[in-house]
Amino acid sequence: MPDTAIPVDVGELFEKLKAEWKSKTRYMSNSAQMATVWPYQQIIGLGRPALVLILKELERETDHWFWALEAISGENPVPAERAGDVESMAKSWIEWGRQKGIT
């Protein structure tokens, strides 16, 4: 059977899903709950190509991208003493991306 999938620009799709996610989670404070919203799960489904987009977004605006980053990368560079400190967690992930040559 021929592949009839239409190629999608990952960047455009990411922006669309990010906007939907932010809209649906505007009044949420629980990060685990935020990560279960469908657009966020779809971003995770984009896989490794989404890593650079998420890290760039994290550099622009600190937000709860940590679940997606860990789910996609299989890593967690945040030291235990920084867990819960969103700004510090963001810095750990951004540094991780630089060390891995992702950003």
**3 has a pLDDT exceeding 60:** no
Q: What share of the chain is helix, strand, coil (3-state, %, to 5)?
A: 65, 0, 35
pLDDT of the residue at 103: 80
Rounded distance between C-alpha atoms, residue 65 and residue 53, angstroms: 11
Q: Per-residue pLDDT tens for 16-40?
A: 999 999 999 999 989 999 999 999 9
Q: Per-residue pLDDT tens for 42-57?
A: 999 999 999 999 999 9
pLDDT of the residue at 7: 53
Name the region of 5 (left: φ>0; alpha: ψ -120 to 50; beta: rest). Answer: beta
